[in-house]
Structure 1
Amino acid sequence: MATIRDVAKAAGVSTATVSAVVNETTFVSPELRARVTAAIARLDYAPLSAARNLRRGRTQLIALVVSDLANPFFSRVVYAAEAAAGAWGYALVVFNSDEKPENERRILTRIRTLSCDGILLVPVDARPRGEFRDEEGRTIPLVHFGRNADGGRSDSVTIDNVAAGRQVTDYLLDLGHRRIGTITGPLHLTTGRGRLDGLRDAMAARGLVPKTEHVRSGEFREDVAYSVAREMIDSPDRPTALYAASGIMALGVMRALADLGLRCPDDISIASTDTIPGIGALRPRLTRTEHPVTEMVNEALRLLNDRITQTRRDGPRHVVFQPSLILGDSCRPLRELADITPR
C-alpha cells in the first residue's frame, strides 16, 4: 500500500506538499498540485478521500438497518440502497434486526461507535427514542423506511398501507367474497396495523366485519404464516378468500394450501401485499399490491443526504407512495348464493 512518502517521492515534492494537497490546507501551485494528484492516482493512494472526510467530520458511511434479511423483499431494498448510496458518494453498512427490538437497540449503539453519517432504518421498535448522536456528540440523521416510528419525529418514506389493504379487499368484495380472512403483520407496526385497517375499512363500507377467528398474525414470517394459514384453512368455517399482508407470508399460505391438498383459487382465493423476487413465477399468478421499491429507496437516500449535508433544516418530511394492484389468477368470483352469504 502506497504511503505519503511514496507519493512525495513520485511527485518530486515534500510530504508537506502532499499533505497540503490532500487536506486543502494551504496554497499549492497548479503545477505541483497536478504532479501530486497524478502520483496519487498512479499509486492508488487511498487516504485522499479519508483525509478529506476527516477534515469535514464525515465518514461517508450510511447504515442500513433492515428488519429481516431472510425476507427476499429486503434483499431488493439492500440492492437498491447500495446503488443509491453509491450515487451519492456513500458506502453502505448493512445490519439485520431480525424483527427484534432488542437487536435494533444493540445495532443502533454499534452505529454510534462507527460514526456513520446517516441511518436508513426499517424500525421494529415502536417506542419513542431520542435524537441519535455519535460518540463525539454529533447528530446522526435518520430516515425511517417502510414503517413509521417515534411519533413521526424523523423523516420517513413509506407505502400507503391502508390503501394497500383496502385495494385488495375491495377487489375480493367485488368478486363476491364476504368471508374474507387475513394474516397480518405485527400490529404494533404501522405496516401490520395499516393493512388490517384497510381491510376493515373496505369491509365496513359494505356493512361487513371480518370474523375474529379469520384475523391472525403471521408476524411477517413465512413459517408463522404457514402455521396459522393451515389452522384457518382447515377449519369448518374457513374464509372463501385470504389476504396475506406481505409477500413472504403469501408463500407460507400457498405452501399450507398445497399441503392440505387444496387448490387456489378453486378452493380459496389468495391475495397479498408487496413483491418478493420470484413471486411472479408462482402458479397461479398471485394477485397483489406492489411497492415501487427502487423509487422509495432513492427518495429515502435523497432525504438522508439532505439532512447529512444540511441542505434542508426544516421539520420532518413524510413521503408516502401509493401501491399498485397487480391482478393475477389467484382469486375467483363466487357465484353460489351460499358462498356469498355472511355466516
Structure 2
Amino acid sequence: MANPFYARIVTAAEAAVAAWGYSLVLFNSDEKPDIVRRILSRIRTLGCDGSVVVPVGPESHYQRRDFEGMPVVLLGRSIGDAGVDTVTIDNLSAGKQATNYLLDLGHRHIGSITGPMQLTTGSGRLQGMLEAMAARGLAPKTGHVRSGEFREDTAYSVARDLLGQPDRPTALYVANGVMAIGVMRAVADLGLRCPEDVSIASTDTVAGAGGLKPRLTRTEHPVTDMTNEALRMLVDRIEGKVAQPARNVVFQPALVVGESCSPLKLPTH
C-alpha cells in the first residue's frame, strides 16, 4: 500500500467498522484494475456482507457485473453505470480552488502536472484549473500542461523537463500529492527554489506531501469523513435500511494554505 492516501482510508475504516460491530477484511489491489476485479469475485465467494472499493485504472476496465451480488460502495471515484453507491470529492472544485489561489497571488503563467485524462479525478481537476483561468481571460501556454499519470516518478520527469524550459511557468497546479513529491524533487534538482522561483499548489491528502518542505498548499480531501460516509452507506445497504437507486455523495475539498506559494515577483529593470 505505497500510496499514503489508501493508508488513511484503512485507518478510518478500522475505527468505523468496529463501532458498528463489523469486522474489516483488507485486500490490496496494488493499483491494478484486474486485481480489483479478482478481489471482488473472491469477496463474493467468501460470503462477505459487503465491500467498499477504491477504484483504480480507467472505467473501461470494469463492467457492471463486477459490482453485482452484494452491496458495494465506491470510494474516491465513480464508475459510469456501475449502479452502486459512490462517495467522491468535487474534483472540479479542487482544481478551481487551487488555481484561483495561484491567480489571486498574481500568477498568470500557470502550468499543470495532471493525472490520466481517462480518470474523472484527472480530467475533473484539470477542467477546474482551465475554468478558473478562463474566467480571467487566461489559458495555459502550449506545452505547459503535462501528464504525470498520478505517479511520483513520472511527475518528476515531466516537471524537470517543463521547469527546465526558458519560458517555464511561474506556478504549477499539481493534481495529486504523490505527484507533488516528485515535482518538489525536480525543483530541488534543477537548483530552483519553491516558492521563490516557482509556486506549487496541489490536491489530495498524502502524509508524505504534507511533510514536504516547504509545507504544501493544497485542496484537501476530508478522507476520514468520506470513509465514514462510505461505510455508513454500506451498512445501510447490508441492513436493508435503504431501497432507493444508487446514491452519490460528493464532498467539497478545503483549501489548506501552506508555504509553497508566494505572490508573483515582477521583474525589476
In which range does the TM-score fall when normalised by the shorter chain? Answer: over 0.9
Q: Deviations over 1:81-113 (max 9, x none)?
A: 111122222222222223322222222222222
Look up the match of 1:120.
52
Paired amino acid for 2:260: S
Q: CA deviation at 1:189?
A: 1.3
Letter in 1 for 2:77: R
Determine helix, strand or coil for the equivalent of 1:219: coil
Letter of the aligned partner of 2:48 in structure 1? C
Alignment pair present for 1:78 and 2:4? no
Larger CA Rg, structure 1 vs 2: 1
SS at match of 1:192: helix
Q: Are 1:204 and 2:134 counterparts?
A: yes
Q: 1:228 deviation in Å?
A: 1.1
My pick for the range that moved more, 271-280 or 326-335, is 271-280
Q: Which amino acid aligns with 2:59?
A: A
Q: 1:133: how far off?
A: 7.1
Question: Displacement, 1:175?
Answer: 1.1
The answer to whether the 8 A contact 2:63-2:82 is kept is no
Relative to structure 1, is the Cα distance of residues 319 and 152 closer, same or farther in structure 2, using a 3 angstrom cutoff? farther
- The 3-state SS of whatever aligns with 1:94 is coil
Distance in 2 between residues matched to 1:293 and 1:306, nearest whole Å: 20
Q: SS of the counterpart of 2:113?
A: strand
Aligned partner of 1:242 in structure 2 is 172
Q: Does 1:167 find its partner at 2:97? A: yes
**Residue identity opposite 1:177 in structure 2:** H
TM-score scaled to structure 2, two decimals?
0.93
Unpaired runs of 5+ residues, structure 2, are none
Pairwise CA distance, 1:149: 0.5
**Secondary structure of residue in 1 paired with 2:27:** strand
Structure 2 SS opposite 1:74: helix
In the alignment, structure 1 residue 129 sits paired with structure 2 residue 63: yes
Aligned residue in 1 for 2:40: 108
Distance 2:259 2:196 in 1: 10
Return the alpha-carbon distance in structure 2 between the equivalents of residues 278 and 228 of structure 1: 20
The alpha carbon displacement at 1:232 in A equals 0.9
Q: CA RMSD in A?
A: 1.8
Provide the residue aligned with 1:290 in structure 2: 220
1:281: how far off? 3.3
Find the aligned partners of 1:225 and 1:176 in 2 and give their Cα distance. 25
User: 1:278 Cα shift?
Assistant: 4.5
Contact 1:85/1:301 (<8 A) preserved: yes
Residue of structure 1 equivalent to 2:29: 97
Aligned equivalents of 1:262 and 1:97: distance in 2? 37
Q: Structure 1 residue 337: deviation in Å?
A: 6.5
Residue 223 (1) aligns with residue 156 (2): no
Alpha-carbon distance in 2 for matches of 1:219, 1:278: 18
**Distance verdict in 2 for CA 1:84–1:172, change over 3 Å:** same
Please say if residues 129 and 150 of structure 1, whose CA atoms lie closer than 8 Å, have aligned partners that are also in contact. Answer: no
Partner of 2:198: 268
Which residue is equivalent to 2:231? 301
3-state SS of paired residue (1:307):
helix
Give, in whole Å, the separation in 1 of the partners of 2:47 and 2:82: 24
2:143 partner SS: helix
Deviation for aligned residue 1:132: 5.0
Task: Give TM-score scaled by structure 1 length.
Answer: 0.74
* 1:330 matches 2:260: yes
8 Å CA contact 2:40, 2:67 repeated in 1: no
CA-CA distance at 1:114 after TM superposition: 1.6
Change in CA separation of 1:286 and 1:133 when aligned onto 2, cut-off 3 Å:
closer
Distance 1:212 1:94 in 2: 44
How far does the alpha carbon of each residue in 1:278-297 deviate from its partner, in whole angstroms, 9 at most, with x for none? Answer: 43432212111111111111
Separation of aligned partners in 2, 1:325 and 1:257: 23
Q: What letter corresponds to residue 126 of structure 1 in structure 2? A: E
Task: Give the number of aligned pairs.
Answer: 266
Partner of 1:311: 241
Matched-pair contact (CA < 8 Å) for 2:180–2:209: no
Pairing 1:179–2:101 present: no
- Structure 1's 86 and 295: CA in aligned 2 closer, same or farther, altered over 3 A? same
Higher relative contact order (CA 8 A, sep 6+): 2
Matching residue's letter, 1:239: P
